[in-house]
Amino acid sequence: MKLKNNLLIFCIFLLSLMSLTMISAITIKDVASSPNEIIPGEIASVSVEIENIFEKKVENLKIKIDLSEVPFAPYQSSSEKYLEELDDGDKEKFTFKLITLPETASGIYKIPVIITYDYEDKNKTKEDLISLIVNSEPELKVSLEDSVVLIKGKENEIAIKIVNSGLSDTKFVYLETSDVSGVKFLAEKEQYIGDIDSDDFDSIKYQIYLSPEAPNLINLPVTLKYKDATNKEYTEIKTITIKTYTLKEAQDLGLVPKQNYTFYFIGGIGIIGFIVYRIIKKRKLKKKREG
């Protein structure tokens, strides 16, 4: 029994010793970037603060951020920093200047950090990860598609176009419309559009009824709801200005063709002439039989 207890104590001691050798004297205490969310093509300062948590100093410390597989590059500085020594309990902040590649997609990027140092005449290596956010404010614009002539007193079809002119992709896009004076929507007012990538667009069609008393210019409010690449939610109210016409106004301006009554007039005369001809012919045939 005593032998088993001694063996257990020895195993615990051995495991403790192994864990101590595996623990790094250097730990990353804090990471900060300025700005917090980096726009593609923008320059950012990234600060990494480290601390010596052991009771003896470390020497020949080198910290390197590995940019080989991420869309960042060093800007006016190296991706490595050096420090001769760091006493026990002390902290040190290293600042790196980075530039984001212009075509970088929005998202969270993990960057490996490799720290090497000498501790008690032995070379040690610690590997860790830091994260940087690449993102920019989405820019969605709405407009009415061209070549739409809206006639009062009739049902009309409109197509609302949504353009993503920003650098960030958008997802889960919803478009919601509202009834305004003179305009009544004949279908669901809220429509799901989906994802709209940067420098892309989508459109959605609505059936509407314009009352005869509708104003010539209507400010139509629409609500956009969507998320960016980091799942931040946005709600925006935008206004589309639409122009309406009476049928006569649209015809006078050449926006819609005028009714051509000449065809109907000639056709009517032809039909009447044919009827008269048939009547006369029947009468002649009747007289001929009677005579």
**CB count in 10 Å sphere of residue 13:** 10
Going from N- to C-terminal start, the domains of the chain cover: 22-134, 140-252
Name the amino acid, one letter, at 278.
Answer: R
Looking at the domain that runs over 22-134, which CATH code has it been given? 2.60.40.10
CATH number of 140-252: 2.60.40.10
Residue 12: CB atoms within 10 A of its CB come to: 10
pLDDT tens track, the chain, 291 positions? 555 555 544 444 343 433 344 467 889 999 999 999 999 999 999 999 999 998 889 999 999 999 999 999 999 989 999 999 999 889 999 999 999 999 898 889 999 999 999 988 899 999 999 999 999 888 999 999 877 789 999 999 999 999 999 888 999 999 999 889 999 999 888 999 999 998 999 999 999 999 999 999 999 999 999 999 889 999 999 999 989 999 988 888 888 777 654 455 566 676 776 676 677 767 766 666 665
Whether this model's pTM surpasses 0.75: no
- For residue 179, how many C-alpha atoms fall within 13 Å in the half-sphere facing its CB? 9
The answer to whether 241 touches 217, Cβ cutoff 8 Å, is yes
Asked if the domains 22-134 and 140-252 are classified in one and the same CATH topology, the answer is yes
Coil vs helix vs strand at 261: helix
Cα–Cα distance measured from residue 130 to residue 78, given in angstroms and rounded to the nearest whole number? 17
CB 110 within 8 A of CB 207: no
End-to-end CA distance of the chain: 148
